[in-house]
């Protein structure tokens, strides 16, 4: 048996495909400051999408924002930011997942007054992390 893991063992097919999609369809949106600012502003106004109510259509994200959010959702659990409700309707925080099932998340100190503001802060952090990962300033 080889000491070097195979491509199947390290999930190389998925990793290479995800990297291609990121470089081709996501990073061009984030590398352009004007587009990035537009996407961040759109997310701030509607961080989790709004379902339809009383016969009215839901408010969905634009295709560009949906593309970025889908990429961020595909990140591995280790190091992923999550919303944690400390006091309902008052205190929301960002937790950082360990990636180990059953191990508690590490809580960041900053408090957010609503689910939406916390979700938006998570989005901004994930975008910054993704840009740093690919060397975009």
* Domains of the chain, residue spans: 12-49+61-133
pLDDT in single tens digits along all 137 residues of the chain: 568 989 888 888 889 999 999 999 999 999 999 999 999 999 999 998 877 777 777 788 999 999 999 999 999 999 999 999 999 999 999 999 999 999 999 999 999 999 999 999 999 999 999 999 999 98
Cite the beta strand spans of the chain per DSSP E.
81-87, 91-96, 106-107
Q: What is the pLDDT of residue 58?
A: 79
Non-local CB neighbours of 7 within 8 Å, separated by 6+ positions: 13
Determine the Cα–Cα distance for residues 117 and 137; give it in Å rounded to an integer: 24
The pTM of the full predicted model, rounded to 2 decimals, is 0.87
Q: What is the pLDDT of residue 2?
A: 63
């Amino acid at each position: 048996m080889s000491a070097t893991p195979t491509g199947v063992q390290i999930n190389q097919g998925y990793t290479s495909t995800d990297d291609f999609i990121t470089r081709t369809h996501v990073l061009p949106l984030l590398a352009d400051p004007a587009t990035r600012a537009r996407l961040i502003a759109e997310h701030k106004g509607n961080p989790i999408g709004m379902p339809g109510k009383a016969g009215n259509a839901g408010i969905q994200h634009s295709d560009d924002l949906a593309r970025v959010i889908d990429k961020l959702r595909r990140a591995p659990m280790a190091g992923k930011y999550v919303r944690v409700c400390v006091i309902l309707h008052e205190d929301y925080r960002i937790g950082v997942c360990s990636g180990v099932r059953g191990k508690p998340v590490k809580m960041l100190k900053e408090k957010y007054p609503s689910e939406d503001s916390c979700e938006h802060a998570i989005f901004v952090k994930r975008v910054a992390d993704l840009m740093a990962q690919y060397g975009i300033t």
